[in-house]
Structure 1
Amino acid sequence: MAKITQPKIIPRPEHAVSRDNIDDTALKVLYRLHKAGYRAMLVGGGVRDLLLGHAPKDFDIATDALPEDVKKLFSNSRLIGRRFRLAHVFFGRDIIEVATFRASQVDENKNDIEVDRAHDDSGRILRDNVYGQLEDDVWRRDFTVNALYYDIADFSIVDYTSAMDDIKNKVLQLIGDPQTRYREDPVRMLRAIRFAAKLGFTIHHDSEQPIFELGHLLADIPPARLYDEVLKLFHSGQGVVSLQLLRKYDLLQYLFKSADDALKQGNEQFETFIHLALESTDKRINQGKPVTPAFLFAAMLWAAVDKLSEDLKQSGEPGTIAMQNASSMVLSQQVRTITIPKRFSMVARDIWQMQHRFKFRHGRRAKSLLMHKKFRAAYDFMCIRSKAGEVNDDSCEWWTRIQTLGPQEQDILLKPAKAKARKKKTASKDK
Structure 2
Amino acid sequence: MSKTSKPQLNRNWIDRRAIEIVSRLQERGYTTYLVGGCVRDLLAGFNPKDYDIATSALPEEVRKCVPKSYVIGKRFRLVLVKRGPDQFEVATFRRDPQPEERDESEHPLADNIFGTPEEDANRRDFTINGLFYDPINDEILDFVEGLHDIKLATLRMIGDPRVRLKEDPIRILRGLRLASKLRFRIEPELRCAMHDLAPEICNSVLPRKREEFLKILKLKEPGRVLVEAFDLRILEYCCPSLDQLFKDKNKKEVFLNYLDRIRDWVDDPHSPTELFSVMVVAFSVASGLVSWNEPIRQGTLLADENLKSFMKDQLGMFISEMTEICHAIEIASRLNDVDSFKKRGIRRQSAFVRQHGFILAMKMAELEHLIEPHARKFWRSLT
- TM-score of the superposition, structure 1-length normalised? 0.75
**Which has the higher Rg, Structure 1 or Structure 2?**
1
For 1:241-252, list aligned pairs within 5 A: 241-252=224-235
Structure 1: where are the runs of 5+ without partners? 109-114, 311-317, 387-395, 412-431
Q: How does 1:10-409 map to 2 (within 5 A)?
A: 10-11=5-6, 15-18=8-11, 20-104=12-96, 106=98, 115=101, 117-118=102-103, 125=108, 127-264=110-247, 266=248, 268=250, 270-282=251-263, 292-299=274-281, 301-302=283-284, 306-307=288-289, 320=297, 323-324=300-301, 326-327=303-304, 330-331=307-308, 334-354=311-331, 356-357=333-334, 360=337, 362-364=339-341, 371=353, 374-375=357-358, 377-378=360-361, 381=364, 396=369, 399-402=371-374, 405=377
Q: Which amino acid aligns with 1:293?
A: L
Q: Deviations over 1:210-266 (max 9, x none)?
A: 1111111111222222111110011122212122222122222334322221222x1
**Code of the aligned partner of 2:133:** Y
Question: Following the alignment from structure 1 to structure 2, what is the Cα–Cα distance between the partners of residues 221 and 383?
Answer: 38
Would you say the 8 A contact 1:119–1:126 is kept in 2? no
How far 1:129 sits from its partner (Å)?
2.4
Counterpart for residue 419 of structure 1 = none
- Cα distance between partner residues in 2 of 1:382 and 1:404: 9
Aligned-pair CA distance for 1:22: 1.5
Secondary structure of 1:323's aligned partner: coil
Shift of 1:366: 9.8
The residue identity in structure 1 corresponding to 2:8 is H
**Pairs aligned (count):** 371
User: Quick one: structure 1 residues 329 and 252, their matched pair in 2 at CA, closer, same or farther if it must change by over 3 Å?
Assistant: closer
Q: Is the 8 A contact 1:237 1:283 kept in 2?
A: no
| Deviations 1:26-63, CA, capped at 9 Å, x for gaps | 11210111011100100111111112222101111011
Percent sequence identity over matched residues? 29
Instruction: Output the CA distance in 2 between the equivalents of 1:278 and 1:240.
Output: 6
1: CA distance, partners of 2:277 / 2:60? 42
Unaligned runs of 5+ in 2: none
Q: Distance in 2 between matches of 1:17 and 1:119?
A: 43
Distance 1:24 1:409 in 2: 43
* Root-mean-square deviation over aligned CA pairs: 3.5
CA distance in 2, matches of 1:283, 1:37: 49
Structure-2 separation of matches of 1:338 and 1:25:
35
**Separation in structure 2 between the aligned mates of residue 284 and residue 299 of structure 1, nearest angstrom:** 11
1:17 offset after TM fit, Å?
4.5
| In 1, Cα distance between equivalents of 2:169 and 2:375 | 47
1:347 partner amino acid: E
For 2:317, the aligned partner's letter is I
What SS class does the counterpart of residue 180 from structure 1 fall into?
A: helix
- Distance in 1 of aligned mates of 2:153 and 2:201: 26
Secondary structure at the aligned position of 1:237 is classed as coil
> What is the CA–CA distance in structure 1 between the aligned matches of 2:232 and 2:334, rounded to whole Å?
38
Shift of 1:275: 1.2
Letter in 1 for 2:155: L
TM-score when scaled to structure 2?
0.83
Cα distance change on mapping 1:348 and 1:187 into 2, 3 Å: same
Query: Would the aligned equivalents of 1:40 and 1:61 in 2 still touch at CA under 8 Å?
Result: yes
Tell me the SS of whatever aligns to 1:349: helix
